[in-house]
Amino acid sequence: MSSHFTVIRKDPDTNARLGRLVTAHGAVETPCFMPVGTQGTVKAMLPRDLREMGCQILLGNTYHLYLRPGHELIRQLGGLHRFMGWDGPILTDSGGFQVFSLGATRKITEEGVRFQSHLDGATHLLTPDKAIAIQEALDSDIAMVLDECIPHDAPRDYVHASTARTIRWAERSFRARSAPGQLMFGIIQGGLFRDLRRWCVDAMTRMAFDGFAVGGLGVGEGEEKLHAIGNFTVELLPETHPRYLMGVGRPQDIVSAVRAGYDMFDCVIPTRNARNGTLFTFQGRLNIKRAEFGGDPRPLDEACGCYCCRNFSRGYLRHLYMAGEILSSQLNSLHNLYFYHRLMDKCREAIRDPRSETWTELGKIGDSV
């Protein structure tokens, strides 16, 4: 049993649950969404605005912060919370996914991952022990073990070998921990093979992790396989621990995963799409670049209470985007993240009151207006 996580209520008709995760920088009500602060900032957002919209926890990126400005500098400046001006909980990833994304510029061995920096081409070695040391220097509330995120179409032999290595790396990561106040999550890999997922769960749950993440999904395998493997895996995980579905962020996928029993989510979709002019509403996505919005006096969403929707028209937002104004990224990002936090509010509301129509409402989220 995790002493840091409590299941408060279970939905009687689904596997969704309402929970409370306690960290060194405060408690988090789950299910929750974690905005991604890759470089020590959620792009185009002030910490104050994140707090005001109800954001509980942020995600920091170990790979990027290690390369620039460096984890030791961040330690000298008081840790990641003080460095970025955020006093709430922070989860840091291990850097595994970013290294996976480097492709031919990285080499994986039993020791770790040798890769070339995307900044200056310098060679680095990221080991399970070093990944934990970096995260302890950052002083995040939740650290992730180093894992290998593999392509969705990798052959079974490679997936088997990779999963075995991920398990061994998790054991090394677990032994390397030395910060008593920092929680640590294990990561479940295994590709699209159910027996390998089960094997990885069995191995990870024998270690005293504070929570478990499911990785290797949302990497091009398609919606059907994402839900099939994601739902299969979450049912194997202990109910006593938080369950984190890594990197999956379409609104409809989050709702489906909450109903399956996941508690935590992160993704760059809300901020990346915002910078590209794609905005979310409960009626679907809206592409502000479309010419038809140029003279539209309506807000993005009349039912939305965010600063953007309370003060600006679709016509103005289109103008900002087409003019390349910095304010476009700020307002669009604020709106999208506000939407994502209202989405999680509605998920928690549906669990609290299963007699409400909230699940039905969430099931109608469309793709476009």
Q: What are phi and psi of 158, to 5 degrees?
A: -70, -40
Residue 209 in contact with residue 186, Cβ under 8 Å? yes
CA 258 – CA 185 distance, rounded (Å): 19
Q: What is the DSSP letter of 59?
A: E
**Residues with catalytic annotation?**
93, 266
| C-alpha distances in Å from residue 229, one per residue of 120, 211, 214, 223, 347 | 38, 19, 10, 10, 22
Q: What is the DSSP letter of 3?
A: T
Write the Ramachandran bin of 340: left for phi over 0, alpha for psi from -120 to 50, otherwise beta.
alpha
Note the maximum CA span of the chain: 60
CA 7 – CA 2 distance, rounded (Å): 10
Residue 218 in contact with residue 230, Cβ under 8 Å? no
Q: What are phi and psi of 346, to 5 degrees?
A: -65, -35
Residue 54 in contact with residue 334, Cβ under 8 Å? no
Cα–chain-centroid distance for residue 265?
4
How many other CB atoms are there within 10 angstroms of residue 368's CB atom? 9
